[in-house]
Amino acid sequence: MQSVLGSGFVVKCVASVTEAKELLNAFVPDILISEVVVGRESGLDLCHYVRNQAGLRHLPIMLLTSQTTLHDKVAGFDAGTDDYVVKPFDGPHLQARIRLLSRIKRLEQRTSV
């Protein structure tokens, strides 16, 4: 992921949803990017987890996936993702979508103060 995003982004990678939850308890990123399928676990479960945690529920979430059906996309949004990006994706396009989620997060923080 770091090679796709380039030096303008700090990337922390984990190998499982369980590791992601542990990391989120210690470090809250600007944006959470997850695969829909994470080993034997589901990125959708991670979305549900984040949305049910008081300190995380406003964290922007982007799901990356090769699952392309309408049902898959709706399931992602119903689970709480803010963006659903289908692979293969173009690096600059992904970067632009990440910047958009960051911008939305900053605007929401300003209006909630």
Residue 72 sits in a domain whose CATH number is 3.40.50.2300
Q: Which residues are CB-neighbours of 112 under 8 A, at least 6 positions away?
A: none
Instruction: Examine residue 113 and state whether it is found in any structural domain, yes or no.
Output: no
* One-letter identity of residue 101: L
The 8-class DSSP code of residue 16 comes to: S
Distance of CA 96 to the CA centre of its chain: 14
The pLDDT of residue 9: 80
Q: What is the pLDDT of residue 3?
A: 75
pLDDT band at 111 (very low <50, low <70, confident <90, very high): confident
- Domains held by the chain: number: 1
Task: Assess if residue 58 is contained within a domain.
Answer: yes
Please state the pTM of the whole predicted model: 0.92
Report the distance separating Cα 61 and Cα 106, nearest Å.
14
52 is a domain residue: yes
Does residue 42 sit within a domain? yes
Span 50-95, pLDDT tens digits:
999 999 999 999 999 999 999 999 999 999 999 999 999 999 999 9
Backbone angles phi, psi at 37, to 5 degrees: -105, 115
Q: Cis bond leading into 92, ω under 30°?
A: no
Mean pLDDT over the full length of the chain:
93
Residue 17 lies in a domain: yes
Domain that residue 13 falls in: 2-108
Number of neighbouring beta carbons within 10 Å of residue 37: 13
The percentage of the chain sitting over the pLDDT mark of 70, rounded to a whole number, equals 97
User: Cα(60)–Cα(96) distance, rounded to whole angstroms?
Assistant: 14
Residue 69 covered by a domain? yes
Rounded average pLDDT over 15-27: 95
